[in-house]
Amino acid sequence: MKQKPLFTLAILFLSLTAIAQNFSRTVAPYVTHQEKAIAITNVKLIDGTGAPAKENQTVIFENGVITQIGNTSQITYPADYTTIDGTGKTLIPGLVMLHEHIFYPKPFDGVFSVAQMTFTFPRLYLAGGVTTIRTAGSIEPQTDLNIRKWIEEGRMLGPKMDLTGPFIERAGTPVPEVGIIESPEDGIEMVEYWGKRGINSFKVYQNITKEDLQAVVNAAHAQGKKVTGHICSVTYREAAEIGIDNIEHGFFQSSDFVDDKVDNFCPAFKRGQALSELPEDSPEMEALMKFLIEKNVAVTSTLPVFEPYTNREVVLGGGLEAMSPEIRESLERSHERRQGRDSASIASFKKQMAWERKFYDMGGHLMAGTDPTGAGRTVAGYGNMRLIELLIEAGFSTVEAIKISSLNGATYLERADKVGSVEMGKQADLVLIDGDLEADISNIRKIVTVFKDGIGFDSKKIFESMKGKVGMH
């Protein structure tokens, strides 16, 4: 037998806590592997670093930490290790998604409202191959803190959670669950209050002022925490100058190209019109991208929430069966009405895809998330699988799409030393897929097992258990 690499006691200690974990009776039925040492053999490996895929690889992890990676013919290991034959399968890192929520839209009387999905969404994220999420905005931050704790304790199924605080917004938002501040000092108070309680980062919203953003950035950075934004009243360039760390939704929300833009005011209609009229090869857009890159501002792609209707799925990623009957019926009616009526959305979608690709090619730090809001067609887990397909549609290679959806997110979250790629010494957060992902990207929907810290969970069984439940709880 070859001598196995030795790792520090600290790493082994951290990983042992995962393998030794006791799961509640509601979680245990979905656990498929909890052995101390596992070897996945003969698998095609896309490691998340952007490197070319490798055939006939063996990946070994012990006590939740990856200890060996290499050609199957050259790797040996003790006979008592559990072996999983990966022939015909693809192994990728657990996805690290940067714009997720634990809520779903439930409008009423023409009001866009959202409701917490405490039970369904954490499970579905894990089933969809997502082992780490950032909740880019919360409506129930204390609930999210409790969910994270219960997942860590083995009482709930779900991914690792990097939590963003409540939306920081001024009056004008149409969403009743979003909190309103009246001054920059209110924003500072929110950062200080939730930062002390374990929230990892903060998010500003569409109607904040530049003064609000500066106060929030200063307060968050003083805690060593980052700020992201779904912005409009403040332009992308202004936000970058102030020091924002991340901007959400690609370039769909940029108000930078409105000619008569008023300070601290969101020109929602004019913004859409300006982006529609802006040429795909606009020098002004390229200059904005260059500025964001110079300022180290990351951009999160959320293509699923903007996906057009015509000749596309009702619920993205095959998630229609997950919807509660009432919501399913409503979504199907809306989808049928909109067929052939969204030509402008299709044109915008293609242009935005091209801009995200350009930003990436210029050296921009592009990450990915789904934002399960909008018209309700984007659902946790299902939407994440669909996101990978949409990145391919946007022109990214398979290895680029996986890197954007794993290592890039982990790097931003400052967790790349532990997760985001399949490398020796990292936690065994892995997704085993039935089929060749490069030959057919739709194989992303054939997840067999999701490993989190070396513990395997049955993806199909989790999805099956959630049928008909999304929208209820």
pLDDT tens figures, 83-104: 999 999 999 999 999 999 999 9
Kindly report the backbone phi and psi dihedral angles of residue 59, in degrees, each rounded to the nearest multiple of 5, phi listed first.
-120, 125
What is the pTM assigned to this prediction?
Answer: 0.95
Mean pLDDT of 313-334: 97
Summarised one tens digit per residue, pLDDT across range 125-153 is: 999 999 999 999 999 999 999 999 999 99
Contacts of 326 (CB under 8 A, 6+ apart): 471
Single-letter residue type at 209: T
Q: What percent of the chain has pLDDT over 90?
A: 94
Mean pLDDT computed over every residue of the chain? 95
Summarised one tens digit per residue, pLDDT across range 340-352 is: 999 999 999 999 9
CA dihedral sign of residues 93, 94, 96, 97: positive
Q: Provide the β-strand partners of residue 71.
A: 57
CA distance 472 to 470: 6
Domains of the chain and any CATH numbers: 9-93+420-465 (2.30.40.10), 95-412 (3.20.20.140)
> What does the pLDDT read at residue 11?
40
* Cα 31 from chain centroid (whole Å): 23
pLDDT at residue 272 greater than cutoff 80:
yes
CA distance 10 to 383: 36
> What does the pLDDT read at residue 14?
41
Are 449 and 459 contacting, i.e. CB atoms less than 8 angstroms apart? yes
pLDDT band at 8 (very low <50, low <70, confident <90, very high): very low
Mean pLDDT of 319-326: 97
Tokens of 154: 């083995």
Summarised one tens digit per residue, pLDDT across range 32-87 is: 999 999 999 999 999 999 999 999 999 999 999 999 999 999 999 999 999 999 99
> What does the pLDDT read at residue 21?
76
Contacts of 309 (CB under 8 A, 6+ apart): 335, 338, 339, 341, 342, 345
Mean pLDDT of 266-295: 98
Mean pLDDT of 221-232: 98
